[in-house]
Structure 1
Amino acid sequence: MLKRLDRILGYEMKVSEFLGTLIILAIPYGIIGIVWTLTHTSHLREMHGLDVIISFLGSIVCWPVLTFSNVTMT
């Protein structure tokens, strides 16, 4: 078990491979965040101007936390 873990953690990647992995992981995360935010916009109706934009982008980034808090608060 430790040999497998050491082999996985010892794998060397190029910067371009890290960026590619980041993009592959970020696209589904962002899509889910956009869908979640578009279906939960009730809090945005009370805001105006720059506050709406910042809250919308924050909801996209923080959707896992907001999903959990939405489930536990209802």
Structure 2
Amino acid sequence: MLLTKLRQVLSYQLSTAELIGIGLLLGVPYLAVGLVWSSTHTEHPHQLHGADLVVSFLGSIASWPVLLFANVCMT
């Protein structure tokens, strides 16, 4: 019974537009939170300049969940 339901769910096909829509629904909030996180935690990048600063900022946007967890564990 459970295996049949699982196969039915896994065999469901999505169109490309639906996959793009799901990506946007998940990606926009993730990037928005990352942007807020990176904008409010700016104590580290003061010593960086140029490309290093840009890469650090983009990296902190992409990895905000890890940084959030590390920040909670450090305090």
Q: Which residue of 2 aligns with 1:52?
A: 53
CA shift for structure 1 position 22: 0.4
Cα RMSD after superposing both structures: 1.1
What are the within-5 Å matches in structure 2 for residues 37-48 of structure 1? Answer: 37-48=38-49
Q: Distance in 2 between matches of 1:70 and 1:5?
A: 38
**TM-score normalized with structure 1 length:** 0.90
Query: So what's the TM-score if we normalise by structure 2?
Result: 0.89
* Alpha-carbon offset, residue 46 of structure 1: 1.0
Name the % identity. Answer: 46
What residue ranges of structure 2 are gaps of 5+ in the alignment? Answer: none
Which stretches of structure 1, 4 residues or more, deviate above 3 A after TM superposition?
Answer: none
Report the AA paired with residue 47 of structure 1. Answer: L
In structure 1, distance between residues paired with 2:5 and 2:64: 33
